[in-house]
């Protein structure tokens, strides 16, 4: 049985990834620091969904969950403890999803991004030098494209115009990965995620915030007066791409690769709101605002490279994805 470390396992993508890996027969060890960037209760509920006992006082040691998932509360900025875990557990694969998320929060609290996304990522890479990890897959972001003016974003486009510190740290992660692949021959694959959504999503993401405010008759903030489009990608499609990539280890003199992972179906913000209104059976009150700092007007992923590599074909429509999210939201909040 292959053993996988999933960092950020109490996060949105981390929980779904760990669940799929367990179902596919992997032995999963999940790691998370359970920080307070958003509701810790939601993170604990995700762990409970994975079968992890939610007794926080015990999280300083490795906890056995159910059906092949274990958990440890650990911050990736703590190199000594992280290194010890990696040496003891002898992971075959690492899915590195832990990071300080959020574009706008990086303007308010930049040090958190340097600590987690740069120092923490460096600790993961350094820890891998002392183990026989077969493949490391890490989370990059569509935000690395920054002010790219192309209609569709492709992996070989220039990524030199990031407009937030969060995006800059993700670009730095790709450069660090290339360096460690070149010098140390670590097999590293980066995934540029495009606006992931679905059940158990993050409260700071648009779908979550819009749903909450529409149900509470609170106006929703619509930036750039609605002239935005996003390549919304359903969580199951994201996880399918991750799982397919695990055995697709990069080769060659520099074992490094990076892929877009999105839906390749950008949606206008107005269409997105219409879809949510239809699912909720309720109209939104709109607060039309100007463009906000750190944001970009559009994202659109060309996923042909990932399709060619592993047959990746996202299949979830926006209507179906929003339906599944709203169903989860109403259940989780007893509405």
Q: Does position 293 have pLDDT exceeding 90, yes or no? A: no
pLDDT at 184: 97
Mean pLDDT of 306-333: 97
Q: What are residue 96's DSSP bridge partners?
A: 7, 138
Report helix angle 165-184 to 121-128, nearest 10: 10
**In which domain, by residue range, is 166 found?**
3-193+233-263+300-314
Cα-atom radius of gyration of the chain, to the nearest Å? 19
Give 126's pLDDT tier (boundaries 50, 70, 90): very high
Residue 288 in domain: no
pLDDT at 292: 72
Query: Which CATH number characterizes residue 7's domain?
Result: 3.40.50.720
Residue 225 in domain: no
Tokens of 324: 């599944």
∠ CA 28-35-51, rounded to 5°: 35
Residue recorded with tokens 């492709």 = 154
User: How far does the chain reach from its first CA to its final CA, in angstroms?
Assistant: 41
pLDDT in tens, 30-58: 999 999 999 999 999 999 999 887 665 45
Tokens of 236: 């199951």
Residue 157 in domain: yes
Residue 56 in domain: yes
Residue 330 in domain: no
pLDDT in tens, 71-82: 999 999 999 999
Residue 178 in domain: yes
State the average pLDDT for the chain.
92
pLDDT in tens, 90-106: 999 999 999 999 888 88
93 catalytic? Reply is no
Residue 209 in domain: no
Beta strands 267-268 and 93-96: pairing type?
unpaired
Residue 252 in domain: yes
Q: Looking at 138, 166, 312, 329, which residue is catalytic?
A: 166
∠ CA 323-329-332, rounded to 5°: 140
> Among 64-78, 104-118, 205-219, 252-266, which is the least confidently predicted range?
64-78
Please count the structural domains in the chain: 1
């Amino acid at each position: 049985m292959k053993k996988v470390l999933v960092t950020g396992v109490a996060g949105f993508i981390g929980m779904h990834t760990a669940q799929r890996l367990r179902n596919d027969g992997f032995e999963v060890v999940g790691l998370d620091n359970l920080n307070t960037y958003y509701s810790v209760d939601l993170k604990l509920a995700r762990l409970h969904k994975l079968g992890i006992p939610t007794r926080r006082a015990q999280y300083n040691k490795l906890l056995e969950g159910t059906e092949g998932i274990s958990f440890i509360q650990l911050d990736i900025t703590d190199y000594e403890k992280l290194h010890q875990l990696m040496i003891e557990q002898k992971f075959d694969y690492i899915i590195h999803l832990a990071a300080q998320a959020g574009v706008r929060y990086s303007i308010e609290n930049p040090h958190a991004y340097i600590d987690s996304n740069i120092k923490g990522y460096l600790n993961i890479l350094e820890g891998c030098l002392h183990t026989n990890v077969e493949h490391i897959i890490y989370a990059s972001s569509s935000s690395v494209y920054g002010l790219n003016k192309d209609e569709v974003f492709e992996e070989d486009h220039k990524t030199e115009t990031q407009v937030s510190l969060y995006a800059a740290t993700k670009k730095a992660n790709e450069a660090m990965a290339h360096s460690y692949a070149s010098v140390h021959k670590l097999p590293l694959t980066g995934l540029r995620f495009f606006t992931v959504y679905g059940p158990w999503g993050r409260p700071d993401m648009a779908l979550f915030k819009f749903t909450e405010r529409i149900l509470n008759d609170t106006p929703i903030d619509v930036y750039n007066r609605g002239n935005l489009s996003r390549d919304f990608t359903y969580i199951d499609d994201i996880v399918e791409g991750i799982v397919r990539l695990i055995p697709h280890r990069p080769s060659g003199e520099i074992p490094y690769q990076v892929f877009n992972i999105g839906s390749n179906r950008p949606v206008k913000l107005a269409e997105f709101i219409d879809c949510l209104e239809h699912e909720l059976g309720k109209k939104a009150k709109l607060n039309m605002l100007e463009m906000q700092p750190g944001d970009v007007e559009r994202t659109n992923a060309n996923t042909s490279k990932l399709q060619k590599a592993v047959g990746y074909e996202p299949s979830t429509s926006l209507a179906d994805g929003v339906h599944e999210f709203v169903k989860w939201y109403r259940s989780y909040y007893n509405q």
